[in-house]
């Protein structure tokens, strides 16, 4: 009989969207062991995502640099974790670097995918078929079961859900002067993975103009990190009346604002998954990425894609040099889905 764990450590993926899609794993662990304490080791910038999940006890922030071993820093983190006496660790990134931490921390049960041949570092190893990879929600949620268990479809698992306190919402709206009496539409024109995932900013600007022409009671806000200012600033210049918050909000403030929106128009991005986790209506524009692998999970979502023969290429930049999957997708194709929710 499986021993009931008292404390579990989850090691977070590095992408916001992946972190959100990992939440069903936590839900399943809590269903299995209602009294278990689940802490999360996560990059500091992603901590607000985990803090908005009800299953999470403490978020332990890290400052590890991408692509760097930083063995000394990982050893120091492992020593701190050792004192917490975790019964099990779920290692969600597939790299050796992250599997080292619970091994060095002497956590007795270490669960994850084989990834970078992590024999020994993990002692409960799951496998995925590279030719037919699991969608992300089943990919993570399956870790709650034995490696031999049958993995279901995406709809067989819980969907992610987030929450924010009303005080956080009020503080964010007051800070940025947002009017709660107007219907709020969020545009998320960025995408961290690369430009191939981005619908051109000129198309977003045209769509904003179409929305303003038909609906007088809406407010359009541009959401994103500082890295997204390059695509949000031209939209602000082209369309008077939009509010450009790219690079101005913290992630926690962005989460609070998104929790109140009427609609989001978005590329395949972390902000899309945040909106999904609040069951917000959203129109998701896909080109280079696979909407069967990382789709929005809100039941009020619409996926717009030209489904060109060259898509999904899963590349950061268009390998053919034309980016037609996004450039040929005109606002006229997107606006009816927007109107459906307005």
Q: What is the pLDDT of residue 290?
A: 86
Domain extent, residue 197, equals: 166-341
Q: What is the pLDDT of residue 1?
A: 58
- For residues 207 and 316, state if they share a domain: yes
| pLDDT above 70 (res 301) | yes
Give the whole-number percent of the chain exceeding pLDDT 70: 99
Q: For residue range 315-332, list pLDDT tens digits in order.
A: 888 889 899 999 999 999
- For residues 180 and 284, state if they share a domain: yes
Q: How many domains does the chain have?
A: 2
User: Scanning the structure block, which residue is given the tokens 């999940």?
Assistant: 53
Q: For residue range 149-204, list pLDDT tens digits in order.
A: 999 888 899 999 999 999 999 999 999 999 989 999 999 998 776 788 899 999 99
| pLDDT above 90 (res 293) | no
Residue 108 near residue 122, CB atoms below 8 Å: no
- For residues 149 and 170, state if they share a domain: no
Beta-sheet pairing, 88-91 with 183-188:
unpaired
Residue 198's SS3 state is coil
- For residues 149 and 174, state if they share a domain: no
Mean pLDDT of 282-286: 95
Q: What is the pLDDT of residue 70?
A: 86
Q: What is the pLDDT of residue 184?
A: 98
Mean pLDDT of 16-40: 96
Could you tell me the pTM of the whole model?
0.91
| Segments in the chain forming alpha helices (H) | 16-21, 23-32, 47-51, 71-82, 96-104, 136-141, 166-175, 201-214, 229-238, 251-258, 270-277, 324-327, 331-341
- For residues 70 and 218, state if they share a domain: no
- For residues 77 and 136, state if they share a domain: yes
Q: Is residue 2 part of a domain?
A: no
Q: What is the pLDDT of residue 130?
A: 85
| pLDDT above 90 (res 286) | yes
Mean pLDDT of the chain: 94
Give the whole-number percent of the chain exceeding pLDDT 90: 83
- For residues 227 and 306, state if they share a domain: yes
Residue 88 near residue 109, CB atoms below 8 Å: yes
Stated length of the chain: 342
- For residues 182 and 322, state if they share a domain: yes
Mean pLDDT of 55-72: 90
Percent helix, percent strand, percent coil in the chain, to nearest 5? 35, 15, 45
Residue after which a domain boundary falls, among 156, 185, 211: 156
Helices 251-258, 270-277: crossing angle, 10 deg rounding: 50
- For residues 205 and 129, state if they share a domain: no
Closest alpha carbon to 300 in 329, 272, 320: 272
Q: For residue range 71-124, list pLDDT tens digits in order.
A: 999 999 999 999 999 999 999 999 999 999 999 999 999 999 999 999 999 999
Q: Is residue 244 part of a domain?
A: yes
Q: How far apart are CA 124 and CA 200, in angstroms?
A: 44
Residue 266 near residue 286, CB atoms below 8 Å: no
Collect all residues with Cβ–Cβ distance below 8 Å to 230 and sequence separation of at least 6: none
Q: What is the pLDDT of residue 204?
A: 97
User: Scanning the structure block, which residue is given the tokens 């009017």?
Assistant: 179
């Amino acid at each position: 009989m499986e021993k009931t764990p008292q404390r579990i450590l989850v090691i977070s993926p590095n992408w916001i969207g992946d972190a959100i899609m990992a939440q069903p794993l936590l839900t399943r662990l809590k269903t299995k062991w209602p009294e278990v304490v689940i802490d999360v080791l996560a990059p500091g910038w992603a901590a607000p995502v985990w803090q908005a999940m009800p299953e999470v006890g403490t978020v332990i922030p890290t400052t590890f640099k991408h692509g760097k071993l930083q063995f000394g820093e990982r050893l120091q983190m492992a020593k701190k974790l050792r004192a917490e006496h975790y019964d099990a660790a779920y290692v969600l990134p597939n790299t050796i670097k992250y599997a080292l931490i619970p091994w060095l921390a002497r956590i007795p049960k270490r669960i994850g995918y084989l990834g970078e041949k992590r024999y020994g570092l993990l002692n409960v190893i799951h496998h995925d078929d590279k030719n037919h990879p699991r969608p992300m929600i089943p990919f993570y949620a399956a870790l709650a079961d034995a490696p031999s268990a049958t993995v279901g479809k995406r709809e067989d698992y819980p969907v992610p859900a987030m929450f924010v306190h009303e005080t956080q919402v009020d503080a964010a709206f007051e800070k940025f002067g947002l009017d709660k009496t107007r219907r709020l539409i969020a545009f998320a024109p960025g995408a961290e993975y690369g430009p191939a995932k981005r619908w051109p900013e000129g198309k977003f600007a045209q769509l904003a103009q179409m929305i303003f022409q038909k609906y007088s009671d809406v407010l359009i806000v541009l959401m994103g990190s500082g890295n997204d200012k390059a695509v949000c600033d031209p939209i602000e210049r082209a369309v008077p009346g939009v509010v450009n918050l790219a690079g101005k909000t913290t992630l926690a403030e962005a989460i609070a604002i998104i929790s109140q929106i009427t609609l989001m128009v978005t590329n395949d991005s972390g902000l899309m998954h945040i909106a999904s986790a609040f069951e917000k209506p959203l129109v998701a524009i896909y080109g280079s990425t696979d909407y069967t692998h990382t789709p929005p999970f809100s039941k009020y979502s619409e996926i717009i894609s030209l489904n060109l023969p060259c898509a999904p290429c899963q590349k950061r930049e268009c390998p053919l040099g034309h980016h037609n999957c996004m450039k040929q997708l005109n606002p006229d194709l997107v606006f009816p889905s927007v109107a459906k929710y307005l």
